[in-house]
Amino acid sequence: MKIAFPVQENKGFESSVYGHFGSAPIFVVIDTEGGDIGAVENIDFQHQHGQCQPLKALGGAIVDAIVVGGIGAGALQKLQVGGIKVFRAVDGSVDENLELIKSGKLPEFVMNMTCAGHSQGGGCAH
């Protein structure tokens, strides 16, 4: 499974998971089967509220899941239509959240869990 983690700064497994999908500058992408790790710049992170293009943001990276602190309803819907599952991260590192998703302890996002907009600093306004 390939999982993307939105982050502020690429520090590999030690990166802190970002609070909002669309405004994260980078995605750390991990292949759980091969253990490979890479990074993709978010080429859509300067979008207007409600105009997120999540597949464009991933820069063509093919992933099975996203683990993030928050996401807007439109982005969530577009990812789900694209067959990508979205899970709600806990505060912490990519590595901590990776262990939680592997053990089935992260909830999958549903529409009533989505963000209402961007807060100061680019995070999620719940």
First to last CA, the chain: 29
3-state helix, strand, coil in the chain (%, to 5): 25, 25, 50
3-state SS string for 48-107: CCCCCCHHHHCCCCCCCEEEECCCEHHHHHHHHHCCCEEEECCCCEHHHHHHHHHCCCCC
Distance CA 124, CA 19 (A): 6
What's the whole-model pTM score? 0.84
Domain positions in the chain are 2-122
* CATH fold for domain 2-122: Nucleotidyltransferase; domain 5 (3.30.420)
CA atoms 68, 54, 37, 7: torsion sign: negative
- At 17, which amino acid appears? V
Do the beta carbons of residue 96 and residue 82 sit within 8 Å?
no
Per residue of the chain (126 residues), what is the pLDDT tens digit?
999 999 999 999 999 999 888 888 999 999 999 889 999 998 865 545 555 566 667 777 899 999 999 888 888 988 999 899 999 999 999 999 999 999 999 999 987 666 655 444 444 544
Q: Which residue in 97, 75, 73, 93 sits closest to 84, CA to CA?
A: 75
